[in-house]
Amino acid sequence: MIIIPDANSIISALVKKGKALELFEWNDLSKEIKFLAPENLSIEIRRNISLIVEKTGLLESEITVLLNKIEAQIEFIPTSKFKKFLAEAIKISPPNDFPYVALARFLQSDGKNPTILSNDKELLKSLSSRAIEGISLHELLFKLKLI
C-alpha cells in the first residue's frame, strides 16, 4: 500500500494519545505501508520547528527525535521526478494541497496506486472527483484493523 501523508498527518503523530503515532509505530514493525512524500515537506516541517515546540511544550531536541523516527519511514521523492505534474495539479486540487496531488499523479503515471492520507475534509472531498484516492487517518486505521 502506497500512502502519501500530508503535513497534518505527520504533525498529528505529536498529539498525546493520538492515533497517528500508533500508525507509524505499527508500520515501523510491519512495513506494510510505503510512505512517500514530496521532498520539500521535510524541509518545511523543520522550518516550523519553533512553532511545533511552542504548541507541544516539548524540547526541540525531543521534537527532533520524534520527527526523525517518523520521517525515517517516509521516502521523500525528489521534485525532479514529479515536476511535470505540478501545473496540472495546481489546476485540479485545492490551492494548498497541489504538491501531494502532483506526486500522486506522477506515481499513477508510473503504474502505482497511491492514496493521500489527510484529515483535511476539503482535500478529501476534492480528491474523490479527481480519480485520486484519499483517506482519513480514522478510515485508514479501520482498514488496517487497528481500531
Partner 1 sequence: MAEFKIEISDDLKKKMSGLSMNWDSVIDSFIREKLFEWERIRSIVSRSKLTEKDALELGRKINEGLVKRYKNISSE
The footprint of partner 1 (CB under 8 A) covers 6-18, 21, 25, 28-29, 38, 40-41, 43-45, 47-48, 51-52, 55-58, 62, 65-66, 69, 79, 83, 86-87, 90, 95-99, 102, 119-120
Q: How far is the CB of 133 from partner 1 (least distance, A)?
A: 19
Q: Nearest-5° angle of CA 123, CA 102, CA 117?
A: 40
d(CA 121, CA 75): 25
**C-alpha to C-alpha distance for 24 and 105, rounded to whole angstroms:** 24
CB-wise, 31 or 111, nearer to partner 1? 31
Report the nearest approach of partner 1 to the CB of residue 145 (Å).
19
Least gap, CB of 120 to partner 1 (angstroms): 7
Rank residues 40 and 111 by Cβ distance to partner 1 and give the closer one: 40
Cell numbers for 139:
478510515
Which phi and psi angles does 4 have, rounded to 5°? -105, 105
What phi-psi label fits residue 58: left (phi over 0), alpha (psi between -120 and 50 degrees) or beta? beta
The length of the chain in residues reads 147
Nearer to partner 1, 86 or 141 (CB): 86
Closer to partner 1 at the Cβ: 38 or 114?
Answer: 38
